[in-house]
Amino acid sequence: MPEVRIKTLPPPHGGKLVERVVRDPQMARKLMEKCSAVYDIKPTLFKGNPVRNVYREIMSVCYGFFSPVEGSMTKADLESVLERRRLTSGWVFPYPILFDISEEDYKKLGVGAGDWLLIRLKGEPFAILEIEEVYEIVPGDVAVRTFGTPEKNPEVVKVPFDQKHTGYNIYCSLNPIVLAGKYTIINEPKFRPPFDRFWYPPKRAREEFEKRGWTTVIAHQTRNVPHTGHEALMKNAAYIGDVKPCDGIVVNAIVGAKRIGDFPDEAIVEGHEMVHLAGYIKPERHLVTFTLWDMRYGNPIESLIHAVIRQNMGISFHMFGRDHAALGEYYDIFATQILWSKGIPSFGFEEPPYMVDGGFYIRPQNIEEFWFCPKCKEFAYSANCSHKGIYSRYSGSFIRGLINEGVMPPPEIYRPEVYKVVVKWWQKFGYPFNNEKYLKEREERLEVDLPHMELPAHLKK
Amino acid sequence: MAKYFGVIIDEKRMAAIKGTPLEDKVQSIFGGALRRLVIEVSDELGQKVIDQFTKARFDARGYIEETPAAFKRAVFKRIAEMKDLSEAVIKKVLEEDLDKVKEEAAKEDKELPVPDIDISDVLELQKNPVQKPA
């Protein structure tokens, strides 16, 4: 009889966890000596507003969230990802990861293949890029090919992407020159509160799971303060496990520049934490974490980066709901579930991503929908409850609309303690959602501070 | 496919439509925790509303959401005035009230009054978080 118990955590995607962080200051100084130029990171702007900061990608690469990716992609890897959602090594990877600079900056830096570039963040040395290749891109072309079109991807793309889509705008706003090569962090950033207590990069996450005795773990993707429907989803999806429900439920928030109108990341991570602090899920079974990534809202494509991240963290299952990581009506609302149940051939998946070569160990838990049903007297699963006209469907947009109008969401929608976390950050920022002011200040503040580190003399000029 | 626009009905709004045919059209949602009126609009008109406001969008239920509170107030005012729940109400707001709505929405984008509620219980819970910084 086959063994049905899951006794170990899944291996990292690509076989080996990437960790490119130098913690020895002497070694950091030696590496800086080899650099020939310094570059200060600039946020990617769309119509003057920050939509991305490449530092978040450097962090996610160097701490292993994006294993096996080790840096900014070469032209061959970029083409391979855009054509078939695979790296040239054959491992599934969905998005271009690029270090892009303007032509003007490229000329000023005077670097080329074989040179090392010192990257500064908030005025301090941060990371090194070992330049392997320099090439040009057409940002609009990268954007279209990243997300797909109704003509090329008719299975799931319903309408062409446009400037109402934040992820599309990120790629359209990239600079035209790409410096490709491996990143290494040489000056470890320190997370600001409240992010510091939720920082579980893959190595630490795996250690924590082992400490807690977890071998079956399910991931909950979030970009939202949790409503009771999310809570029901987490609790019920976690029944999958093996001979018993999953040992652990891991919330992994995507933290980064986001859409105006979303909740601030501070409220998102603390809102999820409140689910266990207020006792709705036992803290022994619930861990709140985050990954730095400027969300692309790519629905099925985004689900693949989620699989990469969470498998690298040691997570065995991933819940995928309707409209997963989506924005607007560009994709079929069940596009992610289509991908994870039968595949999307036009995106390079004749079969689901856990069945293809170079695919994942992490398994999907495709969930339809939870709604509130006063007749069932529960947060009912849509495949169970047939009380049409009685149940109420959740909608994050609807709830944000309530808050915007000054209506306190009732306990049927939000746990009161969770809503109070929203109010806490509303008091702090003067606004409950991301607005232009918050996003601009946030981009200056970022999630981290960097210790002071002296530049080598030759780079001070 | 039709789209929908929902307006939350609180006590004040309920009083404003009391005794009119609209009163019977009020729907109870989330087991009676909230009440609303719903206007059904064509796809085209729904899109026209979305196009007016940067954050606005259709949600997965087909509702027009994340419009400014000022727009919702204007729609309710017209509902009460016209005693109507047809798309004529939305058309009227777009034709006659849009400039004022946009002016108010611009202020709304910068500041929203913080609710006056006691949050000391959650601050107490947060004093001793289970998860600690690395």
CA distance A30 to A23: 12
Closest CA to A305 of A291, A285, A287, A284: A291
* Model pLDDT, residue B125: 97
Residues of A in contact with B51 (CB under 8 A): none
* Model pLDDT, residue A439: 87
- The dihedral of CA A371, A372, A376, A380: what is its sign? positive
Q: What is the mean pLDDT of residues A158-179?
A: 96
Q: Do B65 and A197 touch (CB under 8 A)?
A: no
Q: What is the mean pLDDT of residues A113-127?
A: 98
Q: Are strands A370-373 and A378-381 parallel, antiparallel or unpaired?
A: antiparallel
Closest CA to A123 of A456, A458, A455, A461: A455
Do A25-191 and A195-444 agree at the fold level? no
**Interval A40-58: pLDDT, tens:** 999 999 998 889 999 999 9
Within 10 A of A299 (CB to CB), how many other CB atoms are there?
28
Q: Provide ipTM, 2 decimals.
A: 0.90
Residues of B in contact with A325 (CB under 8 A): none
Cα–Cα–Cα angle for A135, A303, A136, nearest 5°?
Answer: 10
* Model pLDDT, residue A1: 78
B111 near A CB under 8 A: yes
* Model pLDDT, residue A18: 98
Distance from CA of A195 to the nearest CA of B (A): 8
Per-residue pLDDT band for A401 (boundaries 50, 70, 90) equals very high
CA distance A269 to A254: 9
Closest CA to B63 of B39, B94, B80, B90: B39
The residues spanned by each domain of chain A are: 25-191, 195-444
Distance from CA of B29 to the nearest CA of A (A): 6
CATH number for the domain whose boundaries are A195-444: 3.40.50.620
CA distance A278 to A270: 12
Using DSSP's 3-state secondary structure scheme, residue B72 falls into: helix
CA distance A449 to A122: 8
* Model pLDDT, residue B110: 87
Type of residue at B88: A
B36, B112, B116: best mutation site toward chain A, by most A Cβ within 10 Å? B112
Please report, rounded to a whole number, the percentage of residues in chain A having pLDDT higher than 70.
100
Closest CA to B57 of A367, A379, A333, A301: A333
* Six token digits for residue A109: 């830096």
Q: Do B59 and A400 touch (CB under 8 A)?
A: no
CA distance A98 to B29: 46
Residue B58 confidence (pLDDT) above 80: yes
Residues 78-97 of B with CB under 8 A from A: none
Q: Are strands A177-185 and A71-72 parallel, antiparallel or unpaired?
A: antiparallel
* Model pLDDT, residue B96: 95
Give me the DSSP letters along A119-159: EEETTEEEEEEEEEEEEE--HHHHHHHHH--TTT-TTTB-S
* Model pLDDT, residue B93: 96
Residue A89 confidence (pLDDT) above 90: yes
Residue A461 confidence (pLDDT) above 80: no
* Model pLDDT, residue B59: 85
**Interval A194-237: pLDDT, tens:** 999 999 999 999 999 999 999 999 999 999 999 999 999 999 99
* Model pLDDT, residue A341: 96
CA distance A82 to A308: 17
Q: Are B3 and B62 in contact (CB under 8 A)?
A: yes
* Model pLDDT, residue A328: 80
* Model pLDDT, residue A5: 92
Q: Are strands A248-255 and A286-292 parallel, antiparallel or unpaired?
A: parallel
Pick A82 or A396 by higher pLDDT.
Answer: A82
Per-residue pLDDT band for A367 (boundaries 50, 70, 90) equals very high
If you measure CA to CA, which chain A residue comes closest to B116? A423
Chain mean pLDDT for chain A: 96
* Model pLDDT, residue B109: 86
Chain mean pLDDT for chain B: 94
Q: Do A395 and B133 touch (CB under 8 A)?
A: no
**Interval A273-292: pLDDT, tens:** 999 999 999 999 999 999 99
Per-residue pLDDT band for A424 (boundaries 50, 70, 90) equals very high
DSSP single-letter state for residue B63: B
Closest CA to A257 of A292, A221, A305: A292
Class of domain A25-191: alpha beta
Omega prior to A194 cis, within 30 of 0: yes
If you measure CA to CA, which chain A residue comes closest to B130? A283
B121 near A CB under 8 A: yes
Using DSSP's 3-state secondary structure scheme, residue A46 falls into: strand
Q: What is the mean pLDDT of residues A338-367?
A: 97
B116 near A CB under 8 A: no
Q: Do A421 and B123 touch (CB under 8 A)?
A: no
Pick A439 or A15 by higher pLDDT.
Answer: A15
Q: Between B31, B67, B132, which is nearest A372 by CB? A: B31
Q: What is the mean pLDDT of residues A368-396?
A: 93
B54, B66, B117: best mutation site toward chain A, by most A Cβ within 10 Å? B66
Residue B118 confidence (pLDDT) above 80: yes
* Model pLDDT, residue A102: 98
Q: Which residues are paired to A125 by β-bridges?
A: A120
